[in-house]
Amino acid sequence: MLEGRVALVTGGSRGIGRAICEALAGEGAAVAVNYRSGKQQADDVVAAIEQAGGRAVAIAGDVAEYGDADTMVAQTVERLGGLHVLVNNAGISQDALIYNMEPDAWLDVMRVNFGGVFNCTKAALGHFMKEREGVIVNVSSVMGERGWTGESNYAASKGAINAFTRCCAMEAARFNIRVNAVLPGFSPTELVAGLTEKEGGKGILKQLPMKRFGDVEEIARVVLFLASPASNYMTGSLVNVDGGAMAMCGLGKPL
Ligand SMILES: NC(=O)c1ccc[n+]([C@@H]2O[C@H](COP(=O)([O-])OP(=O)(O)OC[C@H]3O[C@@H](n4cnc5c(N)ncnc54)[C@H](OP(=O)(O)O)[C@@H]3O)[C@@H](O)[C@H]2O)c1
C-alpha cells in the first residue's frame, strides 16, 4: 500500500508512535522515527523494522523548536530520498487543576502538542507543495472535543490541533495535500499510565461503551488508513478511535 513512500513520524520511539512506525513500515513505507530524548528506544524501533525487512532511520529533534522540525524534514529527505507522509504524533501531558496549574505547565503542553504540529507541518509543507503531493495525519485526542477535569492545557492543545487540521486541509487541498486527524480515546502507554493503571482505570473502563482500552495497534491502523491512498477522498476529517467514548452523552446510564 505504501511502497516507495517515505514517512516521518514524530514521537515514534514508543507508545502509539512506535505502533504507527511499524504499521507504515509493514505496508512498505520507509520510516523516519523521530524522538526527543529516547535514542535507544528509537534505535530499537529502527532495528525491529529492519528485522522485519523494512527501512527506517532514527532522527532526533524537539518538535517544539521550529529549527529542529525543519532539520528533521531535511534529514528525512536526505537519508530516505523523499517525504510523502508526515504523522504529527509527539505529545505530552502535565495534568493539574487550572487553579493549581503553573503557567509553565500550560505553555509546555501547548508548545509541544500544538506548537509541534504547527512546526512540523510548516516545515513539511514547502516540500509537499513543491512535489504537489503529501499526506499529513495529526494524532489529536477526544479530549480536544470534550471537557475533562485536570486536563485543560492538554485538551486546549488538542482542540487547537483539531481546528488547525481543518484550516490546513483547506489551504493545502489545491496542492494535492490531504490533512486529517485521529482522535484516540484511551490507549495504555506511558502518557496515560497514571490514569489507566490505577484504580481510576476501572472507573474509566466502566464508562466506555466497549469496556476496554484501545491497543496502540488499533490506533495505528486508522493512521495507516489516513496515510494511504485508501482514504484519497478524505481531508479535513477528525476520526475518533475511542471504543465509542465520543458517542456518549456523558450523563451515565438512564434510570
Ligand atoms: N495514550 C493515549 O491514551 C492517548 C489518547 C489520546 C491521544 N494520545 C496522543 O497520542 C500521541 C502519542 O501518545 P502516547 O500515548 O504514545 O505517548 P508516549 O508513550 O508518552 O510517547 C510520546 C512520544 O512523544 C515523544 N515526544 C514527547 N515530546 C516530544 C518533543 N518535544 N519532540 C519530539 N518528540 C517528543 C516521546 O519521545 P521521547 O521519549 O524521546 O521524549 C515519545 O516518543 C500523543 O500526541 C498523545 O497526546 C494518546
Instruction: Convert the pLDDT of each residue in 128-141 to its tens digit.
Output: 999 999 999 999 99
Residue 191 lies in a domain: no
> Do 7 and 24 meet the contact criterion of CB atoms below 8 Å apart?
yes
Please report the pLDDT score of residue 226 as a whole number. 98
Write out the E strands in 151-242. Answer: 177-184, 238-241
Whether residue 199 lies inside any domain: the answer is: no
Of the residues 9, 14, 158, 216, which should be mutated to test ligand 1's pocket, given the most ligand atoms within 8 Å of the CB? Answer: 14
Q: Find the CATH number of the domain harbouring 233.
A: 3.40.50.720
Does the residue 200 lie in any domain? no
Q: Can you give 33-74 as a three-state secondary structure string? A: EEECCCHHHHHHHHHHHHHCCCCEEEEECCCCCHHHHHHHHH
Q: Is residue 201 part of a domain?
A: no
CA distance 217 to 19: 6
| Whether the CB of 64 sits within 6 Å of ligand 1 | yes
- Say whether pLDDT at 108 is over 90: yes
pLDDT digits (tens, 9 = 90+) for 20-70: 999 999 999 999 999 999 999 999 999 999 999 999 999 999 999 999 999
156-182 residue pLDDT tens:
999 999 999 999 999 999 999 999 999
pLDDT at 104 over 70: yes
According to DSSP, the β-strands at 238-241 and 85-88 are: unpaired
Q: Which domain holds residue 224?
A: 6-186+215-239
Q: Is the CB of 119 under 6 A from ligand 1?
A: no
Contact 6, 81 (CB under 8 A): yes
Q: Which three cell numbers stand for residue 166?
A: 481543518
Please indicate, yes or no, if residue 114 is contained in any of the structural domains. Answer: yes
> Per the structure, how many domains does the chain have?
1
